[in-house]
């Protein structure tokens, strides 16, 4: 029998009113979306083939930072000059595998254009700032709701440099941050030794963003949020979503590998695997994966009191529940290529240099490596908005390097749009239709 017509979209400020919302993806963004959707009165089903918070997910292995200052897009003026080096050095901080270049070239050109001028970078930074401001407090509230408030710390984040001159070489980024209202405290050599006594003495200058925070166990945090959603009435279906049944411009069901799930609304939060689902909802978006790595020294003997990012490594170093984690690196190689674990070894070696109190020559029993997929759009902004086929399907993915920190506010926005309401901030910069 044909399905009955669905209800009309909610009006401004509307709620879920008992309608069924399917959230595709149980990572950090899916978990936040589910909780906010429950608050709006939706019946919620999370669909994900993997374990929430498990090692297969980007949410598990990210850099742990709730970095309100990460408003700069990855590309900046003059980056195009470095592309030959990216191709030549497979172990550089940003590497592109030759075999993947023909496929990724259109995305890469758009990526470079997005940061071609300081004016373009500033526009992107303003849009990212709207997603990130106040994020540590938002995550703290979600964590406390799930009974794991201790996983969220709000004691700042620090960029560290060998000298003030290296700090001043990044003047454009700090000029943009200041224009957006972000502030930091400059840390000289003496205070650096007090704040970070175990950090290598080669770092004599820092910028401390006291509004920043971090998560001590992202995997456990995501798992706790999903458990809380289930405790509040959501359900979890272990399956891979494959598409949608859309009739007359209205969503009727989400298609999975083991059957249909009848639904009136859906949100795509499947991270780097969101592209085919978006296409199934009529939206063709240039989503790519920036493969990232981390290395963890288990039971580390030394580490930072406040998480740090050394300028000469461009990797976040954070003390976590498991040990001292260094995360970073960007590798453009697609979803299917095998990991290059030498990139994780670079992170390990950088940890040993940054914190000389760690034992040198650590064995494999003391170090754990991981690789995952950042879902990234070429302009540095996520997709947040209705699909082309129907407003019943909302796109919410592509946050790149700010997936964890941006998830709280993005999940709130996705739930609002699913209810037909306006988010609490201007959504136009993230509209999936910006790509044509």
Write out pLDDT tens, residues 177-210. 999 999 999 999 999 999 999 999 999 999 999 9
Query: Does the structure show a pLDDT above 60 at 3?
Result: no
Residue pLDDT, tens place only, 106-142: 999 999 999 999 999 999 999 999 999 999 999 999 9
Do 325 and 409 contact (CB within 8 A), yes or no?
A: no
Q: Write the secondary structure of the chain as one string of H (helix), E (strand) and C (coil).
A: CCCCCCCCCCCCCCCCCCCEEEEECCCHHHHHHHHHHHHCCCEEEEECCCCCCCCCCHHHHCCCEECCCCCCCCCCCCHHHHHHHHHHCCCCCEEECHHHHHHHHHHHHHHHHHCCCHHHHHHHHHHHHHHHCCHHHHHHHHHHHCCCHHHEECCCEEEEECCHHHHHCCHHHHHHHHHCCCCCEEECHHHHHHHCCCCCCCCCEEEEECCCEEECCHHHHHHHHHHHHHHCCCEEECCCEEEEEEECCEEEEEEECCEEEECCEEEECCHHHCHHHHHHCCCCCCCEEEEEEEEEEECCCCCCCCCEEECCCCCEEEECCCEEEEEEEEEECCCCCCCCHHHHHHHHHHHHHHCCCCCCCCCCCCEEEEEEEEEECCCCCCEEEECCCCCCEEEEECEHHHHHHHHHHHHHHHHHHHCCCCCCCCCHHHCHHHHC
Q: What pLDDT does 10 receive?
A: 36
Give the pLDDT of residue 2. 31
Its pTM surpasses 0.85: yes
**Can you list the pairs that 119-122 forms with residues at least 24 positions away whose Cβ atoms lie under 8 Å?**
121/72, 121/73, 121/76, 121/77, 121/172, 121/176, 122/176, 122/179
- Determine the Cα–Cα distance for residues 146 and 52; give it in Å rounded to an integer: 14
CA distance 2 to 379: 41
Share of the chain above pLDDT 90, in %: 89
Give the pLDDT score at 1: 32
**pLDDT at residue 6 greater than cutoff 50:** no
Asked if residue 327 lies in contact with residue 316, where contact means CB atoms within 8 angstroms, the answer is yes
Confidence of residue 373 (pLDDT cuts 50, 70, 90): very high
Confidence (pLDDT) at 11:
35
Query: In this predicted structure, what is the pLDDT of residue 126?
Result: 97
Query: What is d(CA 210, CA 158) in angstroms, rounded to the nearest whole number?
Result: 8
User: Taking residues 72-96, what's their average pLDDT?
Assistant: 85
Q: What is the pLDDT of residue 89?
A: 80
DSSP bridge pairs for 373? 291
Which pLDDT score is estimated for 274? 98
Token digits of residue 85: 């080096």
Count of beta carbons in the 10 Å neighbourhood of residue 156:
19
Give me the pLDDT at residue 14, please.
60
Asked whether the predicted pLDDT for residue 382 surpasses 80, the reply is: yes
C-beta separation of 121 from 72 below 8 A? yes
Rounded Cα distance between 202 and 196, Å, is 12
Distance CA 384, CA 386 (A): 7
Distance CA 355, CA 51 (A): 34
Indicate if the pLDDT at residue 5 is higher than 70: no
Q: Is the pLDDT of residue 62 over 70?
A: yes
Q: Is pLDDT above 60 for 12?
A: no
- Stretch 236-249: mean pLDDT: 98
Rounded distance between C-alpha atoms, residue 207 and residue 157, angstroms: 8
- Provide the token pair at 11: 């009006």
Structural contact between residues 226 and 34, judged by C-beta atoms closer than 8 angstroms: yes
Second CATH level (architecture) for the domain 14-68+120-152+212-285+378-436: 3-Layer(bba) Sandwich (3.50)
Residue 393 has pLDDT above 60, yes or no: yes
Model confidence at 337: pLDDT above 90: yes
Query: What gap in Å lies between CA 165 and CA 312, rounded to an integer?
Result: 13
Question: How many residues make up the chain in this entry?
Answer: 436
pLDDT at 4 over 50: no
State yes or no: pLDDT of 266 exceeds 60.
yes
Q: What are the two backbone dihedrals, phi and then psi, of residue 27, each rounded to the nearest 5 degrees?
A: -85, -160
- Side-chain-side CA neighbours of 112 within 13 Å: the count stands at 11
Residue 15's pLDDT band (cuts 50, 70, 90): confident
Q: pLDDT tens digits, residue range 394-417?
A: 999 999 999 999 999 999 999 999
User: Using an 8 Å Cβ cutoff, are 34 and 235 in contact?
Assistant: no
**CA atoms of 136 and 223, how far apart (whole Å):** 18
Residues 68-88 have a mean pLDDT of 88
Q: Which residue has 């700042």 as its token pair?
A: 156
Say yes or no to pLDDT of 288 above 80: yes
Banded pLDDT at 18 (limits 50, 70, 90)? confident
Q: Quick one: what percent of the chain has pLDDT higher than 70?
A: 97
């Amino acid at each position: 029998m044909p399905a009955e017509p669905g209800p009309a979209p909610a009006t401004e400020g509307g709620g879920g009113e008992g309608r069924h919302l399917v959230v595709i993806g149980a990572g950090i963004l899916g978990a936040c979306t589910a909780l906010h959707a429950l608050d709006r009165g939706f019946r919620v089903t999370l669909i994900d083939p993997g374990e929430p918070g498990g090692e297969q997910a980007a949410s598990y292995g990210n850099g742990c930072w709730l970095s309100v200052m990460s408003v700069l897009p990855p590309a900046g003026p003059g980056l195009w000059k470095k592309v030959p080096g990216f191709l030549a050095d497979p172990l550089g901080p940003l590497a592109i595998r030759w075999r993947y270049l023909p496929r990724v070239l259109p995305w890469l050109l758009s990526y470079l254009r997005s940061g071609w001028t300081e004016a373009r970078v500033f526009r992107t930074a303003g849009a990212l700032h709207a997603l990130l401001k106040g994020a540590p407090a938002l995550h703290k509230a979600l964590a406390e709701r799930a009974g794991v408030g201790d996983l969220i710390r709000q004691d700042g984040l620090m960029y560290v440099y060998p000298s003030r001159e290296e700090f001043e070489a990044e003047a454009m980024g700090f000029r943009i941050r200041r224009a957006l209202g972000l502030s930091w405290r400059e840390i000289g050599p003496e205070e650096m030794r007090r704040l970070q006594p175990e950090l290598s003495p080669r770092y004599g200058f820092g910028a401390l963003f006291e509004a920043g925070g971090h998560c001590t166990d992202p995997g456990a945090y995501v798992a706790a949020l999903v458990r809380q959603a289930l405790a509040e009435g959501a359900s979890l279906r272990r399956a891979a979503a494959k598409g949608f049944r859309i009739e007359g411009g209205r969503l009727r069901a989400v298609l999975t590998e083991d059957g249909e799930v009848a639904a009136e609304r859906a949100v795509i939060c499947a991270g780097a695997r969101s592209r085919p689902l978006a296409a199934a909802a009529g939206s063709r978006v240039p989503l790519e994966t920036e493969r990232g790595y981390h290395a963890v020294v288990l039971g580390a003997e030394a580490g930072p009191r406040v998480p740090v990012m050394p300028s000469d490594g461009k990797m976040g170093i954070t003390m976590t529940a498991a040990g001292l984690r260094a995360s970073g690196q960007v590798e453009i190689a697609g979803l299917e290529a095998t990991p290059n674990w030498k990139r994780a070894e670079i992170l390990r070696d950088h940890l040993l240099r940054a914190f000389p109190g760690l034992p040198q020559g650590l064995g494999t029993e003391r170090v754990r490596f991981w690789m995952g997929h950042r879902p990234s759009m070429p302009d540095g902004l996520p997709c947040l908005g209705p699909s082309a086929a129907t407003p019943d399907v909302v796109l919410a993915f592509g946050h790149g390097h700010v997936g964890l920190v941006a998830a709280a506010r993005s999940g709130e926005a996705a739930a609002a749009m699913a209810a037909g309401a306006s988010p609490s901030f201007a959504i136009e910069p993230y509209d999936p239709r910006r790509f044509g």
